[in-house]
Structure 1
Amino acid sequence: MTKPLVTILDDERAIRQMLTDALEEAGFETMSFARATEFEAALKTAIPDVCLVDLSLPDKDGLTLVHRLALEQGASVIIISGRAQVQDRVTGLELGADDYIIKPFEPAEVVARVRARLRKAAPAPQSTETARFNGWTAHFERYILVDQAGQETAFSHAEGEVLRLFLERPKRLISRANMQETLGGAAGESFDRAMDVRISRLRTKLGEDPKNPRLIKTIYGAGYIFLGDVSWG
């Protein structure tokens, strides 16, 4: 069985070595990089399962890189950063990161978070990666939405998690607690705001009227309901 590949992007040698040792001991394959340019070059041939990304990089803005990784690569992204402000965590999640770990941290915590992301990313037994609803087709293996005219629109890994949750539970109320339990992450203002942003972006990509959406309805004080007719396969 192929070992999951975890890439580590951090300009501190000691942190790269600490994470490499912990992850490889836990059974993962790793690749580590000190600069974003080296990391991006490696992505042309390597397909990581999880990317660990520091925000304070010497050659590029870490938040911009996180957004591109989530949108174009479809990889699970975990930010590792010394920035502990709530706004930094919220911004990272809004841009598509799946988790945010504040330095200093224990290597065992990172290993646990990586394993959690891989469990959530793994397809359910007998599940499929294509869903059709109301003239749209969602290809989860390619992170692409296709409309009736064949026009393609990309969505991020994080947006895909929310979309899949809706499509797997059509016409059922999904509360914030349901979302937090299914998607993971710490409950609270940061999680709620990240969900609001992802749902807003999904509505935009689905051509929804923000004042009167037809598919993803907000039930104020309760949660959301997806009103489309969904078929898988």
Structure 2
Amino acid sequence: MKHNRLIYVIDDEADICTLVCDELRRFGFETRSFTNGNQAARAIRERLPDLCIVDLGLPDMDGMELVRQICAHQGIGIMILSGRDSTPDRVLGLELGADDYITKPFEPRELVARANSLLRRLSPGDTSAPDTPRQASFAGWTFNPATLTLTRQDGEPEVLSTSEARLLSSLLRAPKQILSREQLLGDHVDPFDRSIDVRMSRIRKKIEQNPKNPCIIKTIYGAGYMLAADVSWS
């Protein structure tokens, strides 16, 4: 099955790039590989990929900085592939907007499966239905899923990461309902069980007047999260 999806693999080890690219191409993906961050950054400016697989140990920059730069481009999925397996690195990667985190050594077939899952989650839904809502208004904010933008009524739009936008969309489509972490994760096999909490914290910092005492997105301890505001779609 031909995916026609473009994946950039960024790793300073050429053997890792070859291994990952060969496995992805076996399953129909188009790939390009880069052994440093500046090469990848230039390529991204020329052509946006669907997914970037990023090693953190790059020779010319910290991989976290490259993740930050990629997040500035709308709609690119980010998978970190790294030998760093500490909790602070995982948390920081997710806070910067990464969608998945895989540690080395890794199983190439699992990486492909998780890339498939990630791209499926980040793909736009079926837009053929005439009544598909375009944007949501809630608590003085407007969210546009098509552009991943969150706008206050009197402010400039702010672009969410794809993972943040997906999470917020799930809450907005079920206002005043408790959604468990499993429901919010969907079919994603998550590498780190605090990923939902980290992303929720990032969203709260954007929309809550006091993120430490949130009024819009409530934590229901032992159950999950709930959007407490009314939502209208247009």
Q: TM over 0.5: same fold?
A: yes
Measured after TM superposition, the shift of residue 218 of structure 1 is 1.6
Aligned to 1:57: 58
Structure 2 distance, partners of 1:49, 1:198, is 21
- The one-letter amino acid of 1:165's match is S
Following superposition of structure 1 onto structure 2, how do residues 74-85 of structure 1 map, counting pairs within 5 Å? 74-85=75-86
Where 2:225 maps in the other structure, the secondary structure is strand
Structure 2 unmatched ranges of 5 or more: none
Aligned to 1:136: 141
Kept after mapping to 2: 8 A contact 1:71/1:157: no
Aligned to 2:10: 9
Q: Tell whether 2:36 aligns with 1:35.
A: yes
Structure 1 unmatched ranges of 5 or more: none
Structure 2 distance, partners of 1:108, 1:183, is 16
- The one-letter amino acid of 2:59's match is P
Q: Tell whether 2:71 aligns with 1:70.
A: yes
List structure 1 runs of 4+ shifted beyond 3 angstroms: 71-74, 126-129, 180-184
Structure 2 distance, partners of 1:177, 1:110, is 21
Q: 1:5 to 1:179 in 2, by over 3 A?
A: same
TM-score between the two structures when normalised by the length of structure 1: 0.88
Q: Tell whether 2:152 aligns with 1:147.
A: yes
TM-score between the two structures when normalised by the length of structure 2: 0.88
Q: 1:2 to 1:78 in 2, by over 3 A?
A: closer
Aligned to 1:177: 182
Measured after TM superposition, the shift of residue 93 of structure 1 is 1.9
Kept after mapping to 1: 8 A contact 2:38/2:60: yes
Instruction: Name the stretch that deviates more: 8-17 or 94-103.
Output: 94-103
Following superposition of structure 1 onto structure 2, how do residues 185-196 of structure 1 map, counting pairs within 5 Å? 185-186=190-191, 190-192=192-194, 194-196=195-197
- The one-letter amino acid of 1:203's match is R
State the percentage of identical aligned residues: 43
Kept after mapping to 2: 8 A contact 1:56/1:62: yes
Measured after TM superposition, the shift of residue 213 of structure 1 is 2.3
Structure 1 distance, partners of 2:124, 2:102, is 25
Measured after TM superposition, the shift of residue 60 of structure 1 is 0.5
Structure 2 distance, partners of 1:92, 1:150, is 28
Structure 2 distance, partners of 1:24, 1:42, is 19
| Pairs aligned (count) | 229
Instruction: Name the stretch that deviates more: 138-147 or 55-64.
Output: 138-147
Structure 1 distance, partners of 2:91, 2:208, is 25
Where 1:44 maps in the other structure, the secondary structure is helix
Q: 1:172 to 1:183 in 2, by over 3 A?
A: farther
Deviations along 1:58-92, whole A, 9 cap, x unmatched?
00110122133234343111111112233322322
Where 1:52 maps in the other structure, the secondary structure is strand
- The one-letter amino acid of 1:161's match is R
